Each structure stands twice: as C-alpha cells, then as structure tokens.
Amino acid sequence: MYRELAIFSGNAHRALAEAVCKHLEMPLGQCEVLEFSNEEVFVRFLDNIRERDVFLIQPVVSPVNTRLMELFVMIDAAKRASAGRITAVIPYYAYGRSDKKDQPRVPITARLVANFIETAGADRVLTLDLHAGQIQGFFNIPVDELTALPLIADYFRTAAYTSPVVVAPDVGDAKRARNIAQRLGAGLAIIDKRRSGNDERAQAMALIGDVRGRECLIVDDEILTGGTMMSAVRLLNEQGATSVAVACVHPLMAARAFEVMDSPEISELVFTDTVPLVHGEFRRVPTTVLSVAPLIGDAIQRIHTGGSVGGLFR
C-alpha cells in the first residue's frame, strides 16, 4: 500500500479540486503550477509526496493545450518526487471527439493524449463521461470512468416534469439518453444530426420518436458552440414539444454558446461542474449546476483504500 492520500490541482479548475477536498475533509495539497513569459510550464510540489498516493485534478479545458501540458509536467514532477502512485484525475478529457480515423489522413488525437499521459508517468486515470467509452482502451494503465448521468437523472426526477421524453441530440448519444430515460421511466426520442465538413456546424435533420405535447429533456455529453443543441431545440419546438430543457455533463461553452443558448426556446439548462464556466453566463434561462465533487471524492477514497468504484453506481 502507499502512504497517505495527497490531492493537488492544476490551474484548470481549482474550485472543483477544493470542493473534492472539502468533501473528503482534507486540505488541498500545495503546488506551484506556473507559466514563464516564454510560455514554458513549471511545476513544483511544496509538500513532501514521497511514497504517497497522489491524485492530480485537471480537467482539460480552455486553453486546452496549456492545461494538457500542465498535467504532463505535474505527472513528471510527481514521478521525480518519488510519489508512490500517481492518478491523473481528468474530469473532462479533451480531444475525445478525435477517437477514430473517420476521414483520410486525420489523427486519432485521443489516443495520442493517452500515450502522453502514460509516458509522463501516470499509474492510473480517473475520468468522467468520456465522449466514447472505448477511449478507456487507448490506455495501458487502469482507467476508472465515472458517470454524472445518475446525478442528472436524479435532478430531473425531483423537478416537476409530468410526461417527459428524453432526447438524444445525435444517434451516437442514444445510449446515454436511454440510460436517463430508463432511470426516469420516460419516453425516448433520437435526432439524426449531420455535420458538414470540419467547421463545427451541426444540423438536426430528422426526429425518431414523438414529442408532440411532451416535455423534452435533451441530454448530451458536452456543449461547445451550442450548435448541436440549438438545432435540436428548434426541431423539437417545431415538432410540438411543450417545453425543451437542455442538460449536459461537460458545459465547455465557447463564448458564442452563451449568445445562442440564452434563448426563450430553452426552458432550463442543467450542467455539472466538471469544467468551469469561464466565457460568460446565462441571464435569461434558469440554470442549475450539479456538483460532481462528492462523486469524484468518493471515487478517490475507494481507489485509495482498494474499494469498488463500480459500487458507487449500484
């Protein structure tokens, strides 16, 4: 076994790391993570971590490549400081959409990032709602993937929805939507979404299922530009939905998402705090942020003590 638990944060989302430590009733470890004027990243642990069970919390959010580099350098510094075991806690795994070669001459960057994390010296990865579960297999070290879907389902269960239909904004999201629909005893509908080229424009083409007179709950893993969601919201409103609520695990929210989604076409927005909302705020649409800190904290505790992480979801 390793010596005691030690948790540190990079610069991506310190508030989440602090909330995890608060849940575990322990202090956040002290660590300098800074960038020199030539943009080189520097890390120094201020606590002794020799032989300790070290967890480094860093969702890979904007500026994505800097946050990734911070994570790699933190892992390297922990390794060289003789940490007993290093777990990269990545609440949001960027580059997840680049998970296959679906056009000629393109990379599989999700795999490349996995290679970098391993090469830096991580022993394990703890993450949440990967864009595609198969990304776990890009690693040769253990990966625990948590899910915030039960949290979102619990929220909708306690909200006053009488005849909800859970909607997948894309065929690839159908499994996720079905999971929530089953938890709620709700109906399921699926949108056929198309993207043209690589310019981030999404178009909801058709709806499989009936939403007339029903409350729609669209659930996605992430929102970036808001294009996928707004296209889905408009289609559902056209098809006679009485209201359309929007939920996602990772609200990446580029600045234009705040412009297009702060719209009366959406009845409410539900997110988690795997990533910080940095580019704006929603003023018109009621917004709820559910914290994943207790979930991450409990998973860390179980990994540290050799308990079952799967047991968290039974």
Number of residues engaging ligand R5P in binding (CB under 6 A): 16
Task: Name the nearest CA neighbour of 93 among 279, 218, 249.
Answer: 249
CA atoms of 58 and 108, how far apart (whole Å): 21
Looking at the Cβ atoms of 75 and 181, the one nearer to ligand R5P is: 181
Tell me how far apart the terminal alpha carbons of the chain are, to the nearest angstrom: 26
Catalytic residue among 79, 100, 175, 193: 193
What dihedral do alpha carbons 241, 247, 253, 259 form, nearest 10°?
30
Per-residue x/- track, 20-59, ligand R5P (CB under 6 A): ----------------------------------------
Asked if 219 is part of the footprint of ligand R5P (rule: CB under 6 A), the reply reads no
Q: Candidates 170, 215, 268, 298: give the one binding ligand R5P (CB under 6 A).
A: 170
Asked if 129 is part of the footprint of ligand R5P (rule: CB under 6 A), the reply reads no
CA separation (Å) from 200 to 63, 97, 135, 251? 18, 12, 22, 16
Minimum distance from residue 97 beta carbon to ligand R5P (Å): 6
Asked if 200 is part of the footprint of ligand R5P (rule: CB under 6 A), the reply reads yes
Q: Candidates 87, 127, 225, 267: give the one binding ligand R5P (CB under 6 A).
A: 225
Provide the 3-class DSSP secondary structure of residue 313. helix
CA atoms of 169 and 114, how far apart (whole Å): 27
DSSP letter for 252, please: -
Q: Candidates 10, 29, 227, 251: give the one binding ligand R5P (CB under 6 A).
A: 227
Task: Confirm whether 79 is a catalytic residue.
Answer: no
Asked if 220 is part of the footprint of ligand R5P (rule: CB under 6 A), the reply reads yes
Q: Candidates 165, 189, 224, 247: give the one binding ligand R5P (CB under 6 A).
A: 224
Minimum distance from residue 196 beta carbon to ligand R5P (Å): 13
Asked whether the bond before 63 is cis by omega within 30 degrees of 0, the reply is yes
DSSP letter for 5, please: E
| Cα 287 from chain centre | 17
What is the enclosing helix (H) or strand (E) of 191? strand 187-195
Q: Which range in 63-71, 99-107, 117-125, 219-227 contacts ligand R5P by CB under 6 A?
A: 219-227
Residues in contact with ligand R5P by the rule CB under 6 A: 169-170, 172-173, 200, 202, 220-229
